[in-house]
Amino acid sequence: MEPRMDYYDNPVTVNYLKHLVAAGRSLLDSPLPVATQELVRMRASQINGCGFCLDMHTKEAAEAGESQVRINLVATWREAKVYTEAERAALELTEQATRIADSSGVSDEAWAEAAKHYDADQLAALVSVIAVINAFNRMNAVVQQPAGDYRPGQFG
């Protein structure tokens, strides 16, 4: 499969991606655990059908020491015993925020559950991770960016 456009060769998308990548990188230093960030990125990418991001974030998670079982089960996190209550709250918030148009938005219950496990700075990071990965997912889905060739650390 070939992408519809090469956004690495277009000055408009190169400029946009520079800022989007910087936004994503700023979250790596946030107080939200990196493992949680990767779970969120994987789940949103699954929902949005973004193979490129799913390829990237499963490989980055494995490289960072995440177990293959947890990576494999993220799509069925509700049934899996391998996630903490905090991670489950983050994944629920991710699903509701990613599917925001399918319902009346993020429920008060999902927000309250996340707030039980994360402080204000962690919640801010969680919301930001969800927003950034959804932006990347949508861009990649629109241009049909192919998946499978990503190497951990490829983008620095």
Going along the chain from its start, the domains and CATH numbers come out as 11-143 (1.20.1290.10)
pLDDT tens digit string along 16-73?
Answer: 999 999 999 999 899 999 999 999 999 999 999 999 999 999 999 999 999 999 999 9
d(C-alpha 115, C-alpha 156), whole Å: 32
Contact 20, 136 (CB under 8 A): yes
Question: Which pairs count as long-range contacts for 19-23, CB under 8 Å and 24+ apart, including other chains?
Answer: 20/132, 20/135, 20/136, 20/139, 21/155, 23/128, 23/132
Residue located via tokens 């994944």: 91
d(C-alpha 100, C-alpha 79), whole Å: 22
pLDDT tens digit string along 143-154?
Answer: 999 898 889 878
Q: What is the pTM of this model?
A: 0.94
pLDDT tens digit string along 101-144?
Answer: 888 889 999 999 999 999 999 999 999 999 999 999 999 999 99
- The predicted pLDDT at position 53 comes to 96
